[in-house]
Every structure is written in structure tokens, then in C-alpha cells.
Amino acid sequence: MAWKEVQARTLTLEIGCNKSFSRGFTLIELLVVIVVISIATSLMIVNLNSISLVENQQKSFVKTFNFLTEESIVTGNIIGWYANNKEDGGFYIRDNNISLNLPINGYESHWKDLTENRKTFDSFDGSSQELDEDVSLLPLITFYPSGENTGGILKIYFNEYEQEIIINNNGKIESKIYQY
């Protein structure tokens, strides 16, 4: 054997690059890959839970506002929607007086799940209101028998993002998320 050939075999054995011997993965390499995959999976699950919570809230608001719109059209009455930090609800407005609480039965409301969150309501007339416990039962949105409403923007503040629910005058509801 020539000196260069012996030197080449020695280097091959030292660094483990022998073409006739195929190496697999070490246990450490496999464990690192498993840990990285599990961390990525857990982050995806947390994000999916946040997304489903936001979608459920939007569906709840859509159901509530659609119900109030339909109730106003069917009964021919003006209906107001109020909300404070702990509850929301609807009521009939007759002769500019609140006459009776209108229960929103049959619809799942996520409002009570949001008592820990700061909430504001911006009317399309430019007024803004912080929804806290001291808010009276004045309507934030008024629904008319024609199918229209006064509309507004409901903002719910979470730790990591802000959800903005836009209730248009024609009853269409949009939801936007702003990350902090």
C-alpha cells in the first residue's frame, strides 16, 4: 500500500465518512428532532384554540344581532341592545321608553366569558363608550323594523390581541384581529 492510500484510510476511519459503511442517526439526533416537533405542535394547538375562540365569539355575536334584527322585523318594534362588563341583552323601545327586557333565548352568548376583558363600543356617530359595570341600560345599537340598525364597533381587548367586531348598518358583521 502506498503512503497516500494509508493516510486516506486513516482519515476516513477518523471522521466516519467511509462510503462502504452507512451510518444511521444517533439517539441524541432523534431526541432533538422529536423535541422540536413537539414544541411546534404545541404552538400550533395553542394558536388553533385561540382562533376557534375568536370564531365562536363572532358566531355568537352574529346570532345575537341576527336574532334582534329578525325580532324587530317580525314584531314591527324598535329593539335596543345594551351591554356592560357582565351582561348583554335586548329590550323593546316603545315611545322612546324601555318597556320590557327581551330575553335572547336559544342563543349561546359568550359575553359572560369576557368579563375579565376590557371592552369598548364606538358608535358610527363618533361617540365612544367604555363598557364597565356602571353602564346604564341605554341601547348601544338600535334595531329598526326595516332591517337596519345604528351599528358600531365593539372592541374586546385580550392579553395578546384585540378583536374588533364591526356591526354595519345593514346587519353585516365583520371581525378583525390586531396582534400586539
- Model confidence pLDDT, tens digit, residues 112-123: 778 888 899 999
Other C-beta atoms closer than 10 Å to the C-beta of 140 total 22
Backbone dihedral angles phi then psi of residue 60, each to the nearest 5 degrees: -65, -45
Q: Does residue 44 lie in a domain region?
A: yes
- pLDDT confidence of 80, banded at 50, 70, 90? confident
**Mean per-residue pLDDT for 45-56?**
63
Q: Does residue 1 lie in a domain region?
A: no
- Model confidence pLDDT, tens digit, residues 12-49: 545 555 555 556 778 888 899 999 998 888 777 766 66
Q: Quick one: pLDDT at residue 153?
A: 93
Q: Does residue 73 lie in a domain region?
A: yes
**Mean per-residue pLDDT for 92-121?**
73
Q: Does residue 21 lie in a domain region?
A: no
Question: Rounded distance, CA 13 to CA 21, Å?
Answer: 10
Q: Quick one: pLDDT at residue 149?
A: 93
Task: Out of 73-77, 96-100, 161-165, pick the least confident.
Answer: 96-100
User: Quick one: how far is CA 119 from the chain centroid?
Assistant: 14
Q: Does residue 119 lie in a domain region?
A: yes
Overall domain count for the chain: 1
pTM: 0.65
DSSP 67-90: HHHHHHHHH--EEEEEE-SS-EEE
Q: Does residue 16 lie in a domain region?
A: no
Domain span at 106? 28-179
Q: Does residue 71 lie in a domain region?
A: yes
Pairwise pLDDT comparison (104 vs 13), residue with the higher score: 104
Instruction: Look up the CATH number of the domain holding residue 33.
Output: 3.55.40.10
As a whole number, the mean pLDDT across the chain is 77
Q: Does residue 7 lie in a domain region?
A: no
Residues contacting 16, CB < 8 A, separation 6+: 23
Pairwise pLDDT comparison (152 vs 99), residue with the higher score: 152
